[in-house]
Amino acid sequence: MPPSLLSLMLVVFGLTTGEFVIAGILPDVADDLAVSVPAAGRLVSAYALGMIVGGPVVTALTARLPRKPLVTGLVAVSVLANLGSAAAPNYPVLLATRFLAGLVVATFFAIAIATAVSTAPAGRAASAVAKVALGLNLGIILGTPLGTVIGQEFGWRATFAAVAALTAVALAMVLRFVPALPAAATGQLRDELRVFAGRDVRLAIFLTALGNVGVVTVFTYIAPLLTEVSGFAEGAVPVLLLVYGAGAVAGNFLGGRLSDRDLMPSLIRLLGALAAALALFWAVGGVRPLAAALTFALGLLAFAVVPGMQTRVLTTAGAAPTLAVAVNASGYQVAAAFAGWLGGALISDGPGLRSLFPVAALLTLAGLATAVHIHRRDRRPAAAGAEPV
């Protein structure tokens, strides 16, 4: 892999670790700051809200900046925000630093994905997205469990300090290896924003949000689910996060290949399998060997849908792919923000922790229905234009 792409992948790895590691240290943060687990779960929502705001706003405002200074600035903000999280004296400050850390992520992901797709051979766009997403997968399979171990051994603040250090190394590599690139847009902002007038783009972004909200709800509270529902010891959580991450890596490449072959039908099948896995976890999650196997399955299926969803946005976005992908990342984070709130409400005021599984399955089925609707819309023009037999 060229050093420039390796540098960008390492940034993705650092950003992903910073986003998802909170799932492994959630109880420690709650105990240390004297807040409830649902309140600590809102730290995920704060990060997600940063991405929701930053996706359209930061990308639109920086569309005419040269790519290398922009990427450098985005990564530098991430380093500072994670250092701020490590030093946060109380819960409100930690919320603010998590919001700031999320503010730059969608724009960076959009630049990385759009660059990969623009250089991909014809018919391999989804596989190119999968290669960029490898850094995301490694953030889950390596970064999240390692960050959890660091948090358990040295305190949760050390986890955020380690994320800041890793991202700083990636920043040095970006400065050394990433070439100067022109701005993503040269026209007027209003011309870029016209991409969202298309119903296909809006449906693709909606599919990303709705199709992911269920499994993100479960992942946000994966540590207490594994310990309190499945009966694993706290020390087993990093290992099980590793299992989830291994599934994510496998699912990422599987999803890329399936989407290159047949985009919407593959998404429909994968969303159906994901809903089934969530329902099965609810039914047999108290049996530890089955819970471990289903943890792998959830990782695989949750990330198998990602390349296809990103590719769907790119194929409908036309002349504004970077902005569309950034807004799509914001759509995913709408799901994450809602997931943090929904999970907390179900745990505190609803039927309890285990109910996350059937609720997540129902939400995923709603995403499946959206994918079916999109597929039917795609088939209508061909049917309308067919010659009568």
What does the pLDDT profile of the chain (389 residues) look like in tens digits?
A: 667 667 878 898 999 898 888 878 888 999 999 988 888 888 887 887 888 888 888 888 887 788 788 888 999 999 999 999 999 999 999 999 999 999 998 888 888 777 666 666 667 666 667 777 778 778 877 888 889 889 989 999 999 999 999 999 999 988 887 777 666 554 555 656 666 677 888 899 899 989 999 998 998 888 899 999 999 998 898 889 889 988 988 998 899 889 888 899 999 999 999 999 999 999 999 999 999 999 999 999 998 998 889 888 878 876 666 777 777 777 777 777 788 788 888 988 778 899 999 999 999 999 999 999 999 998 876 544 444 43
Contacts of range 154-162, beta carbons closer than 8 Å, 24 or more positions apart? 155/28, 155/32, 156/25, 156/28, 156/29, 156/32, 157/85, 157/86, 157/87, 157/88, 158/86, 159/21, 159/25, 159/86, 160/18, 160/82, 160/83, 160/85, 160/86, 161/82, 161/83, 161/86
pLDDT at 74: 93
d(CA 354, CA 345): 13
Nearest CA to 115 among 261, 312, 314? 314
The model carries a pTM of: 0.74
DSSP-derived secondary structure for 322-367: HHHHHHHHHHHHHHHHHHHHHHHHHHHTSS-GGGHHHHHHHHHHHH
pLDDT at 192: 62
d(CA 318, CA 201): 9
- Cα separation of the two ends of the chain: 52
Residue 115 Cα distances to 3, 31, 36, 108, 182, angstroms: 15, 42, 42, 11, 11
Nearest CA to 116 among 212, 205, 270, 2? 2
**Other CB atoms within 10 Å distance of the CB of residue 182:** 11
pLDDT at 271: 97
Q: CB of 366 within 8 A of CB of 210?
A: yes
Tokens found for residue 68: 């290398």
Tokens found for residue 204: 């693709």
**Other CB atoms within 10 Å distance of the CB of residue 118:** 12
pLDDT at 256: 85
CA atoms 248, 324, 314, 362: torsion sign: positive
User: Residues with Cβ < 8 Å from 60, sequence gap 6 or more?
Assistant: 189, 192, 193, 323
Angle at 340 (CA atoms; ends 339, 344), nearest 5 degrees: 110
Q: What is the chain's Cα-based Rg?
A: 20
Q: CB of 47 within 8 A of CB of 196?
A: no
d(CA 99, CA 119): 32
